[in-house]
Amino acid sequence: MEIERLCINILSLAIEGSFQIKILKKPTLERLRVKIGVLQNLIRTENELLIIDDKTYIRLSTKLFEISKEATNWINYVARSQNI
């Protein structure tokens, strides 16, 4: 249940960030990045506790890594565009 709520929160922050003006984007995207990190740790913990199998863990962690990378690139883009 907590993971589902966190996923919805991550989706909500991503949508919120996409509609905000550039000045307000960075704090929202940083919160998004933190939530993604929390989700990555929860998924890792579930695997360590054998709640999810290795195949599911690898699939989810790969997707989360890509999402995290995209969020970081988005933050860097916003930061660069604010410095121009």
Residue-number span of the structural domain to which 9 is assigned = 2-82
- Look up residue 72 and give its amino acid: T
pTM of the model: 0.90
| pLDDT digit string (tens) for the chain, length 84 residues | 799 999 999 999 999 999 999 889 999 999 999 999 999 999 999 999 999 999 999 999 999 999 999 999 999 999 998 875
Quote the pLDDT of residue 1.
78
Chain position carrying tokens 């984007």: 25
**What's the number of domains the chain is made of?**
1
Quote the pLDDT of residue 84.
57
Distance CA 53, CA 46 (A): 9
